[in-house]
Structure 1
Amino acid sequence: MFEFFTDRARRAVVLSQDEAIALGHDFIGTEHILLGLVGTDRSTAGDVLREQGVELTRAREETVRILEAAGIAAAGGQPVKDALSSIGIDVAEIQRRADQAFGPGAFQYPRPAYTPHAKKALEQTLREARALGHEKFGTEHVLLGLLAAGQGRGLEVLAALEVDPAGLREAVLARVAGEAS
């Protein structure tokens, strides 16, 4: 599916993974996808989000607050690391050797998995692009997919930032229509 994404949309997805890892989460939720979109420069979704008042630092703070309120701690993949350690695999040593061989940060383990809500949002990306008659999926389609999925903590972050999902959708569609003309 990712082969149909534009370079900026792929960058947003990579940024969502990076955000999850940086926050110590062993999953990628719609909140991380939202952070990836906000953090993508010169992208339709990033521009519209910023115009709607969504700022990356504040969105990140709200993400952490909402997850902590839900009892979701930043585990940094520790349960997986503990399980591997129990059978004699030293993830820290693997990390050290990978950093030596490939450069610092080249090896991230565990790689976070997408939550069901995030998967649904990415599936909606396809539907949104097709509905607009587009073959490639841009950041605008990812944001529209996140909004159309109608669930997930990304929407909670938007609500905490006082962003109306319907108004945001209209702004994205207006931008897409303006770019097409």
Structure 2
Amino acid sequence: MFERFDDSARRTVVLAQEEARMLNHNYVGTEHLLLALTRDPGPAGQALTALSVTRGDARDHIIEIIGAGLTRTNGHIPFTPRVREVLENSVRFALQCADSNVRSGHLLQSLLVDDESVAALTIAQSGTTLEAIGDQLTDLMTAPEPSATEPEPRFVLSA
């Protein structure tokens, strides 16, 4: 499945694993994926931070409701069934957008579908809604690419 993921989506998955390790969790859940997406420089991260879903606040909320593990987790950390579903659905979102690759924005779109996940609870705690983030993400993902501006003409004075 990951062969369809672009660099931003692959980086997000790796960061989600890193977030799980930093919290000493022995699984990668939707909350870890959310934390990773807050670190994304693209539309996913921009949509979250524009609506006040920040890594620090989200992490604090996750620790409050789940806690941190007591022992460091080494080696492979498995995905929860919900995260596997998010990853699979992100491929569908990419195809619906006529994209050949899954981007981090597709991961966020897919994450927003499940309103009972820890990620959804964390987003709600930030004072926004899944719908508002989805709308913001759509606007950012469908915005036209900024065109490269041509350099200003150079004036050459000749005598």
TM-score (norm 2): 0.85
Which residue does the alignment assign to 2:127?
Answer: 162
- Residue in structure 2 matched with residue 101 of structure 1 by the alignment: none
Q: How much does 1:111 deviate?
A: 2.1
CA RMSD of aligned residues (A): 1.7
Identify the match of residue 69 of structure 2 among 61, 66, 74. Answer: 74
Q: Tell me the distance in 2 between the aligned counterparts of 1:51 and 1:117.
A: 25
Task: Count how many residue pairs are aligned between Structure 1 and Structure 2.
Answer: 146
For residue 83 of structure 2, what is the aligned residue in structure 1?
Answer: 118
Structure 2 counterpart of 1:143: 108
Paired residues of 2:28 and 2:78 also in contact (CA < 8 A):
yes
- Determine what percentage of the aligned residue pairs are the same residue: 29
Where structure 2 has 5 or more consecutive residues not aligned to the other structure, the ranges are 147-159
d(CA) in 2 for partners of 1:32, 1:129: 21
Are 1:59 and 2:55 matched, yes or no?
A: no
Report the CA distance shift for 1:113/1:130 in structure 2 as closer, same or farther (over 3 A): same
Matched, 1:45 2:44: yes
Deviation at 1:112, TM superposition (A): 1.3
Task: Give, in whole Å, the separation in 1 of the partners of 2:5 and 2:116.
Answer: 22
- Runs of 4+ in structure 1 over 6 Å off: none
Which structure has the highest helix share of the two?
A: 1
- Whether the aligned pair in 2 keeps the contact of 1:8 and 1:138 (CA below 8 Å) is yes
Q: 1:75 to 1:110 in 2, by over 3 A?
A: farther
Task: Report how far residue 180 of structure 1 moved.
Answer: 6.2
Specify the structure having the higher radius of gyration (Cα).
Answer: 2
Equivalent residue number for residue 27 of structure 1: 27
CA shift in 2, pair 1:20/1:180, >3 Å? same
In structure 2, what residue type is equivalent to 1:116? Answer: P
- Hey, what's the Cα distance between the residues in 2 that align with 1:7 and 1:76? 31
The offset of 1:75, in angstroms, is 4.0
